[in-house]
Structure formats: structure tokens, C-alpha cells
Chains A and B, each alone.
Chain A
Amino acid sequence: MEWVDQRTLKTSKRLNELDKLLLRFVRILEKYFEYVVTSGYVAILFGRARATEDIDILVKDVDEEKFEEFWKEVTKHFWCLNAENPDVALKLLREDSIRFAMKGEIIPNIELKACRNVVDFLRISERIKIVFKNNQYIFIPPLEMQIVYKEEVLKS
């Protein structure tokens, strides 16, 4: 991996199933919401040798209108594992989380959460861009914040 500028990292890693799922999902998500991919996937992105069955994404500014449009588009390709309609899904997203997987699959899945506190908003406003070999990209929180969040908020 190499830094292109202060907020952009480029990687030529080979894409695994998680990367491919994520890239498909965020191409839809980014049309509607700012986001960062967090938690275990970030450790995997930087080389950790472990598997995971879900990818956590944090989104901000979830309003009803945008969410309905997002729901229409995302459900053409993915299905929501824990909500059947956009009203329930939005309520769940605001209170807890919603999960999406490719149609007919359960894993891997994407767990979407909405920002709830200052730290969450900061993780998005200070986000950094990861550019893959095929020029597709995702956003993650600054690594320092990722570590502090794990240690101080999650106590892990």
C-alpha cells in the first residue's frame, strides 16, 4: 500500500469475496449517503489473516426520502435480512442496524449502522479513501481513530 496524498491510500491487493461484495454495495450506497467501512474488515484490508462473515458500515444523515430511494435501488441486487420494507428498515437503522446480502445468500453480509455520536460523525468527516487496483474505492476512518475506538469505546 502507498499513500497517494494525505487522505488517499492505494493498494494492489487481490480482491477476495468480501472486497467484491463491498465494492458492489458501496457503489449504490455512495449515491445516497456518506459512509465509512469499519471494524474487522479494515483489519483484513490491511493484511490480517482472518475471515469474517459480515462487513460493518457506518452512514450519516439518513433521511426518509433518501433512504427510500436507496432501498429501491439496493433491493434490486441485495436483500435485507432483517427488515421487509423501507419503513421498518429505516426505523431499525436508526435504532440498531440492518443487514444486506446478495439475493439468496446469508453470508457474507453487510451490517449498516447510522451515526449516533460525535465520534461516529468524526469517523466519517475525517475519512480516508482506499483505491484498489481497478480504480474502485471505499472509505474507511483514519486508522488512529479506528484503534482508539476499538480500545476506548468497545473496550476490546
Chain B
Amino acid sequence: MDRREFIIYWARYVKTHPDEEWSEQQRKLIDSHIKSVREFYKKNPEIAMRVLERYRKKAGNA
């Protein structure tokens, strides 16, 4: 299934299923993404620092 097909499939799924149902699938996706990024930053603190520096640099340019 390509990206466009998936979007159509998923939109249809959301329209035809209760909020509780589609949001549970979505919750798993979002929570696991956040968990894996958090773990990645814990294992790679230098990258976490780089992300912070990017935010701060952007702020410094304002």
C-alpha cells in the first residue's frame, strides 16, 4: 500500500469507526514514537544537547 492509498484507507477507517477505536491505534503509534525518541536521547545525550542548542540558537537569532 503506498502513502496515498494508506491515507485514503485510514481516513475511511476513522470515519467509520468510533473515536475510542481509531484513537487507540493512534495512541499506540504516538506513544511508542515518543518512548523511542526519549530512549534515544537518553542513550545519546550529545544529540539531545544538539537539539536543545538548535532551539536556543533559533531563539538567539530572534
Contact = CB atoms under 8 A, between A and B. Distances in A.
Of the candidates B10, B11, B20, B34, the one having the most CB atoms from chain A within 10 angstroms of its own CB is B34
A11 B27 contact: no
Interface string A104-133: 011110000000000000000000000000
B55 A81 contact: yes
Interface in B17-45: 18-20, 22-27, 29-31, 33-34, 37-38, 41
Interface residues of A, number: 31
Give the size category of B's interface with A. Answer: 20 to 34
Contacts, number: 76
B51 A12 contact: no
Contacts of A11: 19
A143 B29 CA distance: 24
B48 A51 contact: no
Contacts of A48: 10
A150 interface: no
A51 B43 CA distance: 21
B34 A92 contact: no
Nearest to B9: A49
A99 B55 contact: yes
Interface of B: 10-11, 14, 18-20, 22-27, 29-31, 33-34, 37-38, 41, 48, 51-52, 55-56, 58-59, 61-62
